Amino acid sequence: MKHLIFSILLLLMFTAEAQSSALAVADSLYIIGNYSKAINAYSKVGGLTAALQIARSYNAVGNYEKAITQYQYVVEEDVENQLAQFELGKLLLKVNRFEEAKSVFTNLSNLNTTNPEFQFYLGEANRHLELTDESLKQYKKAIKLDSTHLRSLFQLAKHYTIKQERDNALTYILKGLNYYENDVSLINLHALVLFNDAQFEKAIPLFERVLELWEDKNYVYDKLAFSYNKNWEFHKAKEAYNILLKRDDTNSQTYFDLAGVYQKENKIDSAKIFINKAMAVQKPIFANGYNQLAYIAREQKDFKNAFKLFERHIKKIHLMRVPISIWLQHTISLART
Q: Where residue 204 sits, what CATH number does that domain have? A: 1.25.40.10
For 282-317, what is each residue's pLDDT tens digit? Answer: 754 555 666 667 767 777 777 767 666 666 655 554
- How many angstroms separate the CA atoms of 186 and 177, rounded? 7
List, for residues 55-74, the tens digit of each pLDDT value. 999 999 999 999 999 999 99
Tell me the C-alpha distance between 145 and 116, whole Å.
6
Average pLDDT over every residue of 256-277: 93
Q: Is the pLDDT of residue 323 over 70?
A: no
Contacts of 20 (CB under 8 A, 6+ apart): none
DSSP for 254-269, written as a single string: HHHHHHHHHHHTT-HH
Q: Picking from 43-52, 80-89, 314-323, which range would have the lowest pLDDT averaged per residue?
A: 314-323
3-state secondary structure at position 160: helix
Residue 323 domain flag: no
Q: Which amino acid is at 180?
A: Y
**Averaged pLDDT score across all residues of the chain:** 86
Measured distance CA(94)–CA(139) in Å, rounded: 19
Q: Is the pLDDT of residue 209 over 60?
A: yes
pTM of the model: 0.79
| Domain contains 242 | no
DSSP state of 327: H
Helix axes 184-196, 200-212, angle to 10 degrees: 160
Q: Is residue 155 part of a domain?
A: yes
Distance separating alpha carbons of residues 184 and 177, to the nearest angstrom: 9
Under 8 Å CB-to-CB from 45, ≥6 apart: which residues?
Answer: 19, 22, 23, 26
Q: Is 61 within a domain?
A: no
pLDDT bin (cut points 50, 70, 90) of residue 21 is confident
State the helix-helix crossing angle for 82-94 and 64-77, rounded to 10 degrees. 150
Which whole number is the average pLDDT over 229-240?
97
Domain range enclosing 206: 147-216
Mean pLDDT of 5-16: 42
Query: 10 Å Cβ neighbour count for 115?
Result: 17
Q: Please provide the size of the chain in residues.
A: 337
Intra-chain end-to-end CA distance of the chain, in Å: 116
Query: Does 21 fall in a domain?
Result: no
DSSP tag of 45: H
Determine, yes or no, domain membership for 51.
Answer: no
Position 171 in a domain: yes
Q: Is the previous residue joined to 284 through a cis bond, with omega within 30 degrees of 0?
A: yes
Which residues lie below 8 Å from residue 325, measured CB to CB, with a gap of 6+? none
Count of domains for the chain: 1
Domain membership of residue 206 (yes or no) is yes
